[in-house]
Structure 1
Amino acid sequence: MTVLMSTPAPGDVRAVVDVLRTWQDDATPVQLHPGDVGWFGRFGADAAAAAVRTWARDGRVVAVGLLDGSRLLRLATAPDAHRDEELARRLVADVSTPERGVLPDGEVSVEARPGALVSDLLGVEGWDTEEPFAPLQRDLTGPVEDPGVRVEVVGPDRVSERTAVHRAAFGGPSFTDERWHDLAAGALYADARCLLAYDDDGVAVGATTVWSAGPGRPGLIEPLGVHPDHRRRGFGRAITLAGAAVLRELGSSSAVVITESSRDAAVATYVSAGFQRLPDRHDRRRAG
């Protein structure tokens, strides 16, 4: 049987994500989450579909990739396929050959779950490891502490506050009100909630979006940020707790977040909100 790669039509992305959600499990290493695809929906349904790649064998999807920008492919594999040699060799060939429409020439990166054979084979092909990322996870079988601040679910009346906090927190202009509306209009946003945290003066100071993968499966916090004028005052912990509480309400078994290992303040914030740091992970990078 041959592994075939394809790009879904916009109307087929939900079906791909439904497969991806069945691969999420608290007992396995963190990998590409339905929320990662959902967050990409801020660029519109057509762009989100164009960024997705699937690999299928005999009609069954065994790997899903998201082009997070033009030079990073984020991969997930079916639980029984992460050491599948035929699949791994096909993935290596596809990401290494620009003509196949996955990654271009030059410096590119691949994110794969720890222990995946594709990562090992990329190493054999000379791909180096990137700087480490820190996954963190909080069990949600028990109650989540009160965040201690006012937190609101974002609807159309709070969009400008939500996008303004995001732009300030991440230092970029790209998340506009229009993009929030594109995000919220996507089919995947039914499994998500945007949240805003406010200070005592009613100023929006922190924001996050959380994504369920369905009851009994880990949910994702992506992204989360605090306005730079309001940092070091506990708002990061507060909005993290609020996000975890919403995921618990949605039936998630745990909350997962990933950040750069070098971001000590971010890691400390998540730990203070009850998250446990998991072993660091490394993307594979091909030098230009």
Structure 2
Amino acid sequence: MTIEMGRPGADGLGDVVRVLREWQYDGAPVQLHPGDVGWFWRFGGERTAEATRTWSRAGEVLAVGLLDGAELLRLAFAPEALRDEDLARQVVEDVSAPERGVLLEGTVYVEAPMGALVQDLLFKDGWESGEPWTPLRRDLGEPVPDPGVRVEVIGPEQAHEWAAVVRASFDGSTFTDERWHAMAAGAPYVDARCLVVRNGQGEAVAAVAVWSAGEGKPGLIEPMGVHRAHRGHGYGRAITVAAARALQELGSSSVIVCTPSSNVGAVATYQSAGLEQLPERRDLNRNAS
């Protein structure tokens, strides 16, 4: 049977999130998580639908892609389809041809799970290894210590505070209150929490969003940031520990996060919060012009 690429539309995003949840399990290669879709949802449901692609056989979704910007496609595969040759060849064909409307001309990137056949085929097709990323993980089977700071779960009334910390944590961030509300209205946010750490003066100094994939499955941190005016006080470690506790309360089996390997400060912060570094992964890139 043939593999068909599709666009789910806004009404079909709930089904996409559902299959992404099903594909998460401890020991699996790090890949697109429902929380990644949830974080993208800050741009609204329609734009999230426009950025989503599915590959199916006989009506069964076997792979999901999220266009995280115009140049990067992030992929996830059903566990049994990771080495499916027909699927991998169709994905490679679709992402390598700009006229298919997945990745356009210019330098483009694909993020695929380690061990996926699509990686091997992209290399054979002339794609090259790109920037290294470091995944980190913490098992949540044991109690997580108290972070030792004041932690608050953010609701709609405090969205402006969370948004302000995110803007002050990432250079060039344009995150707004409206984007928080759009994100919180998305299907993945049912299993998510936004947290802030407050200092002794009650100021929000660090922010994190955590995304559960369901009971007994890995949860995701995306994003985590410390206000640039309040760095060097251990707030990054504290809010990461708080994130792990929140995911544990949501039933997650572990917490995962992925950061550029070049961001040595972030890697060190996550390690200080009890996350263990996993083998590096790399995007693949090609100049398709």
TM interval, shorter chain, is over 0.9
Q: What letter is aligned with 1:17?
A: V
Q: What letter is aligned with 1:135?
A: P
SS of the counterpart of 2:47? helix
Kindly tell me the number of residue pairs found equivalent between the two proteins: 288
Q: Deviation string for 1:160-217 (max 9, x for gaps)? A: 1100100010022421011111111122211110001011111110000000000000
- What is the distance in 2 between the residues matched to 1:132 and 1:68? 17
Q: Deviation string for 1:217-260 (max 9, x for gaps)? A: 00000000000111111000000011110000000000000001
Q: Deviation string for 1:261-284 (max 9, x for gaps)? A: 111110011011110000000010
**1:12 matched residue in structure 2:** 12
- What is the distance in 1 between the residues matched to 2:189 and 2:27? 26
SS of the counterpart of 2:281? coil
SS of the counterpart of 1:14? helix
Q: How does 1:94-243 map to 2 (within 5 A)?
A: 94-243=94-243
**2:67 matched residue in structure 1:** 67
- What is the distance in 2 between the residues matched to 1:152 and 1:168? 18
SS of the counterpart of 1:132? strand
- Partners of 2:191 and 2:213 within 8 A in 1: yes
SS of the counterpart of 1:270? helix
- What is the distance in 2 between the residues matched to 1:82 and 1:30? 12
Q: Deviation string for 1:90-140 (max 9, x for gaps)? A: 000000111111000110000000011101111111111111000000000
Structure 1 segments unaligned to the other structure (5+ residues): none
Q: How does 1:264-283 map to 2 (within 5 A)?
A: 264-283=264-283
Q: What letter is aligned with 1:252?
A: S
TM-fit CA distance, 1:56: 0.2
TM-fit CA distance, 1:31: 0.5
TM-score normalised to structure 2 length: 0.98
- Partners of 2:17 and 2:187 within 8 A in 1: no
Mapped pair 1:256 → 2:256:
yes
- What is the distance in 1 between the residues matched to 2:263 and 2:232? 14
Percent same amino acid at aligned positions? 61
- What is the distance in 1 between the residues matched to 2:189 and 2:36? 11
- What is the distance in 1 between the residues matched to 2:51 and 2:69? 8
- Partners of 2:8 and 2:54 within 8 A in 1: yes
- What is the distance in 2 between the residues matched to 1:250 and 1:64? 25
Q: Deviation string for 1:46-93 (max 9, x for gaps)? A: 001111100000111000000000110000011011111111110000
- What is the distance in 2 between the residues matched to 1:144 and 1:56? 40
**1:49 matched residue in structure 2:** 49
SS of the counterpart of 2:236? helix
Structure 1 segments of 4+ aligned residues over 4 angstroms from their partners = none
TM-fit CA distance, 1:27: 1.3
